[in-house]
Structure 1
Amino acid sequence: MDFLMSGLAACGACVFTNPLEVVKTRMQLQGELQAPGTYQRHYRNVFHAFITIGKVDGLAALQKGLAPALLYQFLMNGIRLGTYGLAEAGGYLHTAEGTHSPARSAAAGAMAGIMGAYLGSPIYMIFPPESWKLALVAAMVSGIAVVLAMAPFDVACTRLYNQPTDAQGKGLMYRGILDALLQTARTEGIFGMYKGIGASYFRLGPHTILSLFFWDQLRSLYYTYTK
């Protein structure tokens, strides 16, 4: 049940943050393999992209890809938060005297993150649900490092998976993620590697906090009605 509630919590957060994922993808594909200044910029920044997509393609376009995103979140964060929840329920986050242990919480969070990473996600630290202010600050601060480190690979993956293919399904633009990275860096420069970084960052904090909030609420309801 812990894994189910965790997955549902992540899905709830995804419904609210998926539009930023759409914005990020559009910005990453804008001017693909074109030198800066040689193409028309349809999206100037995160907010302009959000408004433009809504006006031109309709509000429904901001939720494109929601179904696979929900599945991904359910599997990945279901494991992350669910594993942490089991550790908490088992009393592993407290010392022998019964006090809460930040070190054990960090260790449990890291282990939960590693298990989530096995499904292809970066490791994020899971914070105890009672420390909401700490979780908010830590999520935003640590998010800077995560986004900066992962942005080039995120851009490459987006382009790799959205490239045209031949009849056999072979990509026509990139041979793999390394080739996508090199081509992007060579033609678009360092800034091309960080397209959509604003949307990535704005999404990370709210998604983390919403996931924790929904998780805590679902668990409270569950334990209230099962006792």
Structure 2
Amino acid sequence: MEFAIGAVAACGACLVSNPMDVLKTRMQLQGELRARGRYVVVYKNIIHAAYAVAKADGILGLQKGLAPALCYQVVMNGIRFGLYRRVLDSGVISRADGSMSPLGCVAAGAGVGVIGGFIGSPLYLIKTHLQTQAADSIAVGHQHKHQGFLSAVYSISSKEGIRGLWRGSSTSIPRVGVGSASQLFTFSMSKDWLDHYELYPRDSWQSTFFGAMTSGLVISTCMSPFDVIATRIYNQGVDSKGRGVLYSGIPDCIVKISRSEGLRGFYKGWSAIYFRIGPHSFFNLIFWDSLTQLHKKYEKKNSEETT
């Protein structure tokens, strides 16, 4: 049930946040391995990016990659939230006074995130490919030209084998590990803080909103470099042997971005990351909290009826 609750909550949030994910991906690929001022700026900011995509690809262009994105949420967040809830309920990371251990939250959040991210990596790969595809006038990064979700699965697996679907999966470990740890840590800690000072009831939407938007700032800052690296490696073209044509791995990607784009290159699309993660975290976590509370009430009612 923990898996189902996490998956449903994540899918509901994904429907709202996917357009920002599309914009984030495009902005991260803009000016790839080029110094500032040496490439055409197609997307000036998130507002301009949204307008450019809607104008060139139609309003539905903002929902590109939605199918694999939803499937990724089912796998990744179903596992992540499901396992994290089990850890919380077990009391392993709880202190004597009932509050959460900061170190325990970080370790548990990172651990469950890495597991979910690695298993869902093929879906993230396809999502990135489809979100990148655009009309020639606004295209950035390598264009894979897939005809759709299933077409992408067939194309990649037939050319590169099943292993090709996990190309770039190594980037999911630091990306999802850091993102998951910072999200679940800051969300849990902020709710503990609000609860301690009795500002809002722990299970109120205000508490969830505050926790989600606070965690969004931390996640965006901590995860942005890893997210840029993941997008670049997942989206790069491959040669006849299935090897990336731009980056041989994470260290090579870091060095090349540093040399050609500088520190700013690792924070391309930061605003889009935040405006994706903030609302996504809010809806994801409030759905998760609400569904968990409903499940607990249902179990309690059934228990009372059987006794």
Q: Which ranges of 4 or more aligned residues in structure 1 deviate by more than 3 Å? A: 83-96, 104-110, 126-129, 216-227
Whether contact under 8 Å (1:84, 1:108) holds in the other structure is: no
SS of residue paired to 1:44: coil
Give 1:110-121 correspondences, 5 Å limit: 111-120=108-117, 121=176
Q: 2:15 is matched by which residue type in structure 1? A: V
Whether contact under 8 Å (1:5, 1:219) holds in the other structure is: yes
Alpha-carbon distance, 1:136 to partner: 2.5
Distance change in 2, residues 1:95/1:149 (3 Å): closer
Alpha-carbon distance, 1:80 to partner: 3.0
What residue number does 1:72 align with?
Answer: 72
1:16 counterpart = 2:16:
yes
| 1:46-96 Cα distance to aligned partner (Å, 9 max, x none) | 111112111111122211222222222222222332234446667889999
1:101 counterpart = 2:174:
no
Give 1:20-169 correspondences, 5 Å limit: 20-86=20-86, 101-103=98-100, 107=104, 111-120=108-117, 121=176, 122=179, 123=181, 124-125=183-184, 127=188, 130-169=203-242
What residue number does 1:210 align with?
Answer: 283
Q: Structure 2 stretches of 5 or more lacking a match?
A: 118-175, 192-201, 303-307
State the identity %. 43
Distance change in 2, residues 1:171/1:84 (3 Å): closer
CA distance in 1, matches of 2:21, 2:252: 23
| Greater Cα offset, 203-212 or 118-127 | 118-127
> Which residue of the other structure, out of 149, 152, 171, is the alignment partner of 2:244?
171
SS of residue paired to 1:102: coil
Q: 1:49 is matched by which residue type in structure 2? A: A
SS of residue paired to 1:171: coil
Q: 1:168 is matched by which residue type in structure 2? A: K
CA distance in 2, matches of 1:154, 1:109: 19
SS of residue paired to 1:32: coil
Whether contact under 8 Å (1:153, 1:181) holds in the other structure is: no
Alpha-carbon distance, 1:182 to partner: 1.3
SS of residue paired to 1:214: helix
SS of residue paired to 2:78: helix
| Greater Cα offset, 75-84 or 51-60 | 75-84
Please give the TM-score of this superposition, normalised by the length of structure 1: 0.83
SS of residue paired to 1:118: helix
Over aligned residues, Cα RMSD in angstroms? 2.9
Whether contact under 8 Å (1:34, 1:188) holds in the other structure is: yes
Distance change in 2, residues 1:187/1:92 (3 Å): closer
Q: 2:22 is matched by which residue type in structure 1? A: V
Say which structure is richer in helix: 2
Q: 1:101 is matched by which residue type in structure 2? A: G
Q: Which structure ranks higher in relative contact order (CA pairs < 8 Å, sequence separation ≥ 6)?
A: 1
CA distance in 2, matches of 1:30, 1:116: 28
Whether contact under 8 Å (2:10, 2:74) holds in the other structure is: yes
Q: Structure 1 stretches of 5 or more lacking a match?
A: none
